[in-house]
Chains A and B, each alone.
Chain A
Amino acid sequence: MDPVQILFILIYLLTILITATKIVPMSVAALIGALLTVWFGLLYDVFGYEEALGFIDMKLIFLLLGVMIVVEVAERSGLFRFGALYAVKISRGNPTLLFVSVCVVAAAVSVFLSDPTAMLLIAAAMATITKLLRYDPVPYFVSAMVMINLGGTSTLIGSVSNMIIGLQAGFSFTAFIEYLALCELALWALTIFVLYMLFKSRLGEKKELPEYNPWESVKDKKFFYRSILILILLVVLFLTLENLGVGAEAVALGCAIIALALSNSDPADIFKKLDWETIFFIAGFMFVVGGLESTGLLNDISTQLFQTVGQSPLGASIATLWASGLASGAVSNIAVALTFSPIISGVAALNSAAVWSALVLGTNLGGAMTPLSGAVMMMGIGALKREGISLSFAEFTKVGVITSLVQLGFASIYLIVRFNLWV
């Protein structure tokens, strides 16, 4: 390893460390990493200025912006709040039914909403209903955190890490569903069962739920129906246009323009609400990974990995699943996806649907292992604290580790069966 490679590894580790410890916001951490990468890259002639500009994948940025705008418009209509209210209503005060419906809705809304936004919605619903029925909020909050992390694993727009991997792997919206939808549905059922077994003694007794009509929470029914149409349009266009060669980013941006045109909201207000922190984090981190790639280091890792497990599709897939899963438990899964993607695409033998699917599953499933694994856990624990409940690090980690290990174990079996890896 030459000194320049060591320097770029140090920049990468420094960026990860600052991001994880949150000394500065994660976007600033990644931009500091980007600045150091470009500075030293140009100084030591690792790459040229034009090459550095190419580190940013504009397709990914456009895809993110498009999806964020569509979802922001849909959220303003009260569509997702309506779903949460309906889930509570159908439970009729039965704690088991409430628990299952909350888990399903938490995972379902996170297919579209960003994880922190989904957590905000579900936490608000749970705080209200558990207070009203005098239930222990911990089982409902913790289960919602785990399910929100799981939701959207099998769709291109289900999480930021999926968008990163999807564009790198060349996975279309349909390919994601084809490879992973069955696995995600099975994981929903399995995870709900595990969470139920962990919490069944704390769910509470059946109580009378007050009569209410979820429709009363919808202020503008026309806008509500328009939002449903926009989301259906987004999915239909992804399914059809991608087959005609139109990129996912173009579909997302097209839908965003339609959503803005049909929305009653001020576009400036919508733009202000987008998750710029994530967008700038990705942009900055792309430079850091791009710099590492230019030194030839990621290629060396790919070659090494190929020699170790690459000749065995089973070994490569399982190693990718567990390595990315455990790494996502410790650092942002966006950083894990951005780092692993060039390593996998660097070696043709590793570049298979099974290995990419393993990376998708690993980055998604590892994100709820400890309270430090992601923003959702922080938010859920923060919301519980505001309700007067102090959830210890160990209490969440126990549930997080058990569910993550069960999920990763199941995903290993799924990959072996789905892609005939034992052959």
Chain B
Amino acid sequence: MGVNKLVRKWIESREKKPESEYEEAKRQFEMAIGQPFITLKLEIPAGFEEFSNEFRKLENDYQFQEEVKDLIKKRLLLASRLKKST
């Protein structure tokens, strides 16, 4: 391990406030001025328990997030058309 990596690891070990506190503080600012976002809690579908590792990896899968965004776009467009028709 290089000196730079050692120093960085040491710096990180000295951080005081846990990540969750930072993320919570950031969430509050994002809600106030950032782009609107939602947080979903999704459980693994029944019968797919053997894929639990692959399922967990989806949380940080960029491709998966893009697919979900496409689904949201379709859903919002549908909602918009339904609104106009009524």
Contact = CB atoms under 8 A, between A and B. Distances in A.
**A-B interaction:** yes
Interface of A: 21-22, 81, 84-85, 88, 116-117, 119-121, 123-125, 127-129, 131-132, 209-210, 212, 214, 216-217, 277, 371-372, 375, 378-379, 381-383, 385-386, 392-393
A23 to B, nearest CB: 10
B26 A124 contact: yes
Contacts of B21: 120
Interface string B3-38: 010011011111111010110011011111111000
Contacts of B30: 128
A116 B21 CA distance: 11
Interface residues of B, number: 24
A128 B29 contact: yes
Interface of B: 4, 7-8, 10-17, 19, 21-22, 25-26, 28-35
B33 A132 contact: yes
B16 A212 contact: no
Given A124-B22, A124-B25, A393-B7, A129 B16 contact: no
B17 A131 contact: no
A131 B35 CA distance: 10
A214 B34 contact: no
A11 B76 CA distance: 66
20 contacts: A85-B33, A120-B17, A120-B22, A120-B25, A124-B22, A124-B25, A124-B28, A124-B29, A127-B26, A127-B29, A132-B35, A214-B32, A216-B32, A217-B28, A217-B31, A277-B16, A372-B14, A378-B15, A379-B15, A379-B17
A128 B17 contact: no
Contacts of B31: 217
B64 to A, nearest CB: 19
A169 to B, nearest CB: 28
Contacts of B7: 393
A393 B29 contact: no
Given A120-B22, A123-B22, A210 B16 contact: no
A124 B23 CA distance: 8
Nearest to A375: B16
A102 to B, nearest CB: 13
A81 B28 contact: yes
B14 A129 contact: no
Which 10 pairs show the lowest CB-CB distances between chains A and B? Answer: A124-B25, A124-B26, A128-B29, A382-B15, A217-B32, A375-B16, A378-B14, A378-B15, A128-B34, A212-B33
